[in-house]
């Protein structure tokens, strides 16, 4: 039985690693190594550096992802530490996304507590601009009225790989989005229990994860109005089960319609502030977009950047999957989802001739305004050839998805239309 990093003492254990390996290893695992046990998992993770494995030493961050059930099967993995992975659109066809198909986006390591599903000593602290500071246990949270809601959760960087010129950051394709069912207490009820002071304007949300690169722990916040919205939740369950390690055990925020980074995982503290939260991830170019349209490749001065909040109108084609061959004259089932942040979907139209002509699809209403809509139709191709199925969603403000991706320095809020190529060989 191997010892944990704590038992062994992190320094002693590093001494056991030969110098050359140690340098790479330290670069790879950084600070988060201190927080994860070495011994609890068997060796055998494919991603693990062979040299270390042969010496009976296992890079912790990678093993931690494995212990958290990652990667999920059929996942497109962008990075292992921190772990980031998504699913191809045709794997996201379900009305309610099963946990097994929900993308994972981490800025740092997964807390050991989450991997162990350990509630011992866990508390959610509510502090700052409140009359009464609270330290809530899981039992306390479970005593608040519990709300169940399907909510679209989408990373601000979803679609980043479609930006031209290329931008830095995880190269998400289209699959950093999902719509699962979340259950938990209203953040409003919890904040009311603490009693907001009139000076409260913003939250600062904190979690139990630590970045691998020594940077400030991931923390973002939301305006008090959004925090007090009846749909904003402290989720304790995902698709009917206790939150999985990768998705924020034991508690996370669900901020409907807003970018995923607002939905703090492994939540353990909410500090109510008398001004806009000013953590690293709220500042500079992080999760911020230019106040006005800019030319592709331009970098506006930092004072012209604004905090990204709600998503814009968007859709996904989940049927058919790309590059399938069909026969002329036979109807093909076309299907997908659409969502629009805090707005409603008005319609989704499709084209098979590069946008010359459009036809209506049947829109299926969601279970609530923050779940995704579904749309479907049948298409019949009369002649052989190469085609692209294009889908374009409109919201109730009249906004529709663009044909060319408007550009911003970090590749946020991409909503360019989805195109699925098909061919009719004969
Ligand atoms: N504590 C913490 N919360 C976090 C993150 C994180 O790295 N740490 N990532 C955020 C981002 S950028 C996104 S898109 C969502 C992803 O949620 P998921 O992994 O459950 O899909 O979690 C958000 N909450
Ligand atoms: Mo994100």
Domains of the chain by start residue, with CATH: 11-84 (no CATH), 99-307 (3.90.420.10), 314-424 (2.60.40.650)
Predicted pLDDT at 64: 79
- The residue contributing the CA closest to ligand 1 atom 19 is 104
Which residue is it, tokens 């806009």? 276
Taking the CA of residue 82 as reference, the ligand 1 atom at the shortest distance is 7
Taking the CA of residue 178 as reference, the ligand 1 atom at the shortest distance is 21
For the segment 151-180, what is each residue's pLDDT rounded down to a tens digit? 999 999 999 999 999 999 999 999 999 999
**Whether 162 contacts 408, CB under 8 Å:** no
Quick check: bond before 32 cis, omega within 30? no
Joined together, the tokens standing for residue 299 give 């970098």
Give the ligand whose atoms come closest to the C-alpha of residue 151. Answer: 1
Angle between helices 60-67 and 19-29 (to 10 degrees): 50
Instruction: Tell whether the torsion through CA atoms of 291, 295, 301 and 305 is positive or negative.
Output: positive
Residue 392 CA to residue 309 CA, distance in Å, equals: 22
Quick check: bond before 251 cis, omega within 30? no
Distance 253 CA to ligand 1 centre (A): 10
Task: For ligand 1, pick from 82, 84, 98, 155 the residue to mutate: most ligand atoms within 8 Å of CB.
Answer: 155
Residue 400 CA to residue 420 CA, distance in Å, equals: 18
**How many other C-beta atoms lie within 10 A of the C-beta of residue 281?**
18
* Mean of the per-residue pLDDT values of the chain: 88
Distance 159 CA to ligand 2 centre (A): 11
Q: Which of 253, 207, 170, 241 is nearest to 35 (CA)?
A: 207
Residue 228 CA to residue 222 CA, distance in Å, equals: 10
Residue 96 CA to residue 178 CA, distance in Å, equals: 8
- Label residue 176 exposed, middle or buried (CB < 10 Å: 0-12, 13-18, 19+): buried
Residue 129 CA to residue 196 CA, distance in Å, equals: 6
Joined together, the tokens standing for residue 264 give 């703090």
**Whether 304 contacts 403, CB under 8 Å:** no
63 compared with 6, residue with greater pLDDT: 63
pLDDT, mean of residues 227-250: 98
- The residue contributing the CA closest to ligand 1 atom 5 is 106
Buried b (16+ CB within 10 A) or exposed e, 206-236: bbbbbbbeeeeebbbbbebebbbbebbbbbb
Distance 105 CA to ligand 2 centre (A): 6
Taking the CA of residue 205 as reference, the ligand 1 atom at the shortest distance is 1
| Range scoring the smallest mean pLDDT among 8-17, 38-47, 131-140, 301-310 | 8-17
34 compared with 62, residue with greater pLDDT: 62
pLDDT band at 214 (very low <50, low <70, confident <90, very high): confident
Predicted pLDDT at 57: 53
Q: Which of 179, 183, 189 is nearest to 147 (CA)?
A: 183
State phi, psi for 317 to the nearest 5 degrees: -100, 115
- The residue contributing the CA closest to ligand 1 atom 12 is 261
For the segment 174-205, what is each residue's pLDDT rounded down to a tens digit? 999 999 999 999 999 999 999 999 999 999 99
Taking the CA of residue 209 as reference, the ligand 1 atom at the shortest distance is 1
Stated as kind and residue range, the H or E segment containing 314 is strand 314-319
Predicted pLDDT at 212: 77
- The residue contributing the CA closest to ligand 1 atom 18 is 104
Rounded to a whole number of angstroms, the CA Rg of the chain reads 23
Task: For ligand 1, pick from 243, 253, 263, 270 the residue to mutate: most ligand atoms within 8 Å of CB.
Answer: 263
Residues 6+ away with beta carbon under 8 Å from 267: 124, 205, 206, 207, 234, 248, 251, 252, 253
Predicted pLDDT at 309: 98
Predicted pLDDT at 148: 98
What is the distance, to the nearest Å, from the Cα of residue 13 to the centroid of all Cα atoms in its chain?
34
pLDDT, mean of residues 101-127: 97
Please give the model's pTM, rounded to 2 decimal places: 0.88
**Whether 340 contacts 401, CB under 8 Å:** no
**How many other C-beta atoms lie within 10 A of the C-beta of residue 27?**
10
Taking the CA of residue 248 as reference, the ligand 1 atom at the shortest distance is 20
Half-sphere exposure of 238 (CA within 13 A, CB side): 24
Pocket of ligand 1, beta carbon within 6 A: 102-108, 153, 155, 207, 209, 218, 247, 260-261, 263-266
Angle at 217 (CA atoms; ends 214, 219), nearest 5 degrees: 150
Taking the CA of residue 157 as reference, the ligand 1 atom at the shortest distance is 14
Q: Which of 357, 367, 363, 364 is nearest to 389 (CA)?
A: 357
Provide the Cα torsion 387, 311, 258, 91; round to 10°: 0
- The residue contributing the CA closest to ligand 1 atom 16 is 105
Predicted pLDDT at 172: 98
**Whether 200 contacts 274, CB under 8 Å:** yes
Residue 72 CA to residue 98 CA, distance in Å, equals: 11
Task: Provide the residues around ligand 2 (an ion) whose CB is within 5 A.
Answer: 105, 155-156, 260-261
pLDDT band at 7 (very low <50, low <70, confident <90, very high): very low
């Amino acid at each position: 039985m191997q010892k944990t990093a704590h038992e062994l003492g992190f320094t002693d254990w590093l001494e056991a690693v030969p110098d050359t390996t140690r340098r790479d290893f330290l670069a790879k695992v950084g600070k988060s190594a201190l927080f994860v046990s070495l011994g609890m998992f068997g060796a055998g993770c494919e991603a693990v550096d062979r040299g270390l494995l042969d010496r009976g030493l296992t890079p912790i961050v990678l093993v931690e992802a494995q212990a958290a059930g990652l990667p999920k099967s059929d996942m497109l993995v962008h990075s292992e530490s921190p772990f980031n992975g998504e699913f191809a659109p045709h794997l996201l066809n379900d009305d309610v996304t099963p946990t097994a198909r929900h993308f994972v986006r981490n800025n740092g390591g997964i807390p050991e507590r989450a991997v162990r599903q350990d509630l011992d000593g866990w508390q959610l602290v509510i502090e700052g601009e409140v009359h009464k500071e609270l330290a809530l246990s899981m039992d306390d949270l479970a005593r608040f009225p519990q709300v169940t809601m399907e909510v679209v959760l989408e990373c601000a960087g979803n679609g980043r790989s479609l930006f031209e010129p290329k931008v830095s950051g995880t190269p998400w394709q289209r699959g950093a989005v999902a719509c699962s069912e979340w259950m938990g207490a209203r953040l409003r009820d919890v904040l009311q229990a603490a009693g907001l002071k009139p000076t409260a304007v913003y939250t600062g949300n904190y979690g139990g994860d630590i970045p691998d690169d020594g940077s400030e722990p991931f923390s973002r916040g939301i305006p008090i109005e959004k925090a007090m919205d009846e749909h904003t939740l402290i989720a304790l369950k995902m698709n009917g089960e206790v939150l999985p390690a990768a998705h924020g055990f034991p508690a996370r925020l669900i901020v409907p319609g807003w970018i995923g980074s607002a939905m703090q995982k492994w939540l353990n503290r909410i500090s109510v502030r008398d001004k806009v939260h000013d953590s690293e991830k709220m500042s500079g170019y992080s999760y911020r977009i230019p106040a006005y349209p800019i030319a592709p490749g331009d970098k506006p001065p930092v004072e012209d950047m604004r905090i990204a909040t709600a998503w814009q109108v968007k859709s996904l084609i989940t049927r058919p999957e790309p590059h399938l061959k069909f026969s002329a004259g036979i109807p093909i089932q076309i299907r997908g989802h659409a969502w629009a942040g805090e707005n409603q979907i008005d319609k989704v139209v499709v084209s098979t001739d590069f946008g010359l002509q459009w036809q209506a699809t049947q829109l299926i209403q969601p279970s609530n305004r923050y779940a995704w809509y579904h749309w479907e139709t049948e298409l019949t191709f009369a002649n052989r050839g190469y085609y692209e199925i294009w889908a374009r969603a409109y919201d109730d403000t009249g906004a529709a998805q663009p044909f060319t991706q408007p550009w911003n320095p970090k590749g946020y809020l991409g909503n360019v239309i989805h195109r699925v190529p098909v061919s009719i060989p004969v």
